[in-house]
Amino acid sequence: MCTAMTLETAQGEVYLGRTMDFSVTLDPSLYFVPKGYRWGNLAATHTVRNQYSFIAVGQDASPVVFVDGVNEKGFGAAVLYFPGYAYYDPLDSGQDTRPPIASIELMHFLLSQCTDVDDAAEILRTIRIVGMEDTVTESVAPLHWIMADKSGRCAVIEKTKEGLFVMDNPIGILTNSPDFSWQITNLRNYSNLSPWQMQDKKWCGVQLPPFGQGAGGFGLPGDYSPPSRFVRTAFQKSHADSCSTPEEAVITGFHLMENVSIPKGVVMTDRNTADFTQYTAFIRLSTQEYFFTTYNNRQITRAAMPGIREEEPAIRSLGKLIRPITFDEFPG
């Protein structure tokens, strides 16, 4: 599971946010990866040299698997689960000479090579997305991706049996399955929803006033399935007050994400494990700033892209996301 969205201020500042919902307890860190860093693809066929520095949240799975991030050009991306629909190219390419990039390393590849959404769309045609097991789930994870840049462009990447699709995402939202096109079509079922109060109705002479405020949103789905989270986020994002400052944008973004955050025990897998929101992050793309909270610590933490150290050849951990909670004392 997971929900991702973009948010744009009145001044055109773009943010990319996501919830990380997972049924395996993670220990994520924030990493800095410098320009010029070289790494071998998991298929052991090519060496990639990073064109741009980036910061990203990842899990050290030998190698580090990145799940969301932003690079020095203001290009950001996040990966989400896509079960039942993701379909990758075979590792054995036959006559296809394009380099294979595993789905779990595509985040690293995109953040290190792309300047914006259009650039990413072109670069994606030069590689093959293949499936390889990761050590976190011990499986070939079914994935799709959302990407955005500081200009406000947003797109979705899906690799299915029908091929590779890079689709404009004007609503700036992504959850999980079904595919993105289906999710957009499904919004039409909820076009009657409104933030405005319903007016009194009269049936057969009987006056029917609404039950208090909020009746205009009656029918908004409240469960945690991917289609419901997509609709709920789309409705609330569409009607939330416009943000004028970076502070307002961050606060609004976290409020919107709270409506799809999952407490432990509310969603259980068939393995009897809880699928819950382990962290929530928002990224200010133009300044490469991260803002995040974790399940046990709702205090918003800020982190920024560090400067490059001379002759820095390796990935650098900036620290764990999971931090001890502290309570401010009320000055009474």
Tens-binned pLDDT, residue by residue, of the chain (332 aa): 899 999 999 999 999 999 999 999 999 999 999 999 999 999 989 999 999 999 999 999 889 999 999 999 999 999 999 999 999 999 887 788 899 999 999 999 999 999 999 999 999 999 999 999 888 778 899 999 999 999 999 999 999 999 999 999 999 999 999 999 999 999 999 999 999 888 888 999 999 888 888 888 889 999 999 999 999 999 999 999 999 999 999 999 999 999 999 999 999 999 999 999 999 999 999 999 999 999 999 999 999 998 877 667 789 999 999 999 888 899 88
Do 177 and 84 contact (CB within 8 A), yes or no?
yes
- Residues belonging to the active site: 2
- What does the DSSP 8-state code read for residue 16? E
Task: Give a yes or no: residue 242 inside a domain.
Answer: yes
Do 108 and 33 contact (CB within 8 A), yes or no?
yes
Number of domains in the chain: 1
Task: Give a yes or no: residue 233 inside a domain.
Answer: yes
Alpha helices (runs of H) in the chain, residue ranges in sequence order: 106-113, 117-124, 180-186, 226-239, 246-258
Give pTM, 2 decimals. Answer: 0.94
**Gyration radius of the chain's alpha carbons:** 21
- In a 3-state reduction of DSSP, which class is residue 318? strand
Task: For residue 155, give its domain range.
Answer: 3-320
Task: Give a yes or no: residue 332 inside a domain.
Answer: no
Task: Give a yes or no: residue 111 inside a domain.
Answer: yes
- In a 3-state reduction of DSSP, which class is residue 31? strand
Task: Give a yes or no: residue 29 inside a domain.
Answer: yes
| CATH number where 7 lies | 3.60.60.10
Structure tokens at 201: 């109705």
Residue in the block written with tokens 């560090």: 306
CA–CA dist 326, 310 (Å, integer): 36
